[in-house]
Amino acid sequence: MTTDHDAQPPAKTELDLNQFLPYRLNSLADRISQALARIYEERFGIKVAEWRVLAWLSHCDTLTAKKVRQYTGMDKARISRAIQALEGRGLIHRTPSAEDQRVHFLHLTAEGQALLDELIPLAHDWEAQLVGTLSTGEYRDLLHLMGKLDRQLTRLEERDD
């Protein structure tokens, strides 16, 4: 016969963050971002948000702040501060839309392009060092798997809407 004091407490629900993919990916992404940020902050005086605006402009030529927000996932205030800082340094310029004066098109200036011409090769070199531990196949597989997770996340988000 068992008594109340012999009963085992219910098992505690635990979460080992070292084995939890969302935590591991976020932690790794933060570490990668901060390590790369040290390069462009120290050498070029560029903050993370500013780098992301510049990088997207190097890829798309012309964007609006709204598009930058969509591409980067950063909040409106952070994007606005980054745009103001970049414009203040003469690295980008804004052109108002003829249809909607609230909308401004962002463009790299010659100075902004020159900065990127120096910074982008450094970023590529740093990335090559980071992934240098992976084989070509592992790197390809990593990008493929990240794409699959991204697509699945989109499906899950659409289902929740």
Spans of all domains in the chain: 31-160
49, 78 Cβ separation under 8 angstroms: yes
pTM of the model: 0.80
What architecture is the 31-160 domain classified under in CATH? Orthogonal Bundle (1.10)
Q: Which of 28-32, 47-51, 81-85, 156-160 has the lowest mean pLDDT?
A: 156-160
Q: What is the DSSP code (8-state) at residue 8? A: P
pLDDT of 125:
96
Task: Tokens 């606005």: give the residue.
Answer: 80
* pLDDT tops 70 at residue 3: no
pLDDT, tens digit, for every residue of 100-150? 888 999 999 999 999 999 999 999 999 999 999 999 999 999 999 999 999
Share of the chain above pLDDT 70, in %: 96
Give the Cα separation of 133 and 123 in Å (integer).
17
